[in-house]
């Protein structure tokens, strides 16, 4: 898998296209498209990795993503997206975060019970 394909896959999992990833990484909107023909410098790749919530090593393909870490990155990206779309202030953002944590704990408990044959 090429670097651009990995970036597309990570972006898709986070609801972002290449243009959005580039812009959020401080690049021109079409910068990533050119990486099929040349490799950007490490600082640029680190900026993209940070935008995507993955390590530099995972982004360049030297390490496989940790499934739990990948899921956490996706949930974090979803949270940031909702906060941005809803234009929530800090107090409401904190409330939303707490509600998400409570919901995830309840769902995890139910799934654990189901897994153990109690549900």
Mean pLDDT for the chain overall: 89
Tens of pLDDT, residue by residue over 40-95, are 999 999 999 989 988 899 999 998 887 787 787 778 777 877 888 888 899 999 99
Question: b vs e for 57-80, b when ≥16 Cβ sit within 10 Å of the residue's Cβ?
Answer: ebbbeeeebeeeebeebeeebeee
Comparing CA positions, the residue from 68, 49, 43, 60 lying closest to residue 11 is 49
Q: What is the dihedral of CA 104, 110, 111, 117, to 10 degrees?
A: 170
Predicted pLDDT of residue 119: 62
């Amino acid at each position: 898998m090429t670097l651009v394909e990995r970036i597309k896959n990570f972006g898709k999992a986070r609801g972002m296209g290449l243009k959005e990833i580039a812009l959020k990484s401080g690049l021109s909107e079409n910068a990533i498209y050119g990486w099929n023909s040349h490799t950007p410098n490490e600082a640029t790749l680190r900026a993209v990795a940070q935008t995507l919530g993955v390590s530099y090593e995972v982004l360049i393909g030297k390490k496989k993503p940790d499934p739990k870490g990948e899921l956490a990155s996706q949930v974090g990206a979803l949270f940031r997206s909702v906060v941005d779309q809803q234009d929530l202030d800090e107090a409401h953002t904190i409330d939303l975060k707490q509600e998400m944590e409570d919901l995830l704990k309840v769902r995890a408990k139910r799934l654990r019970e189901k897994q153990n044959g109690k549900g």
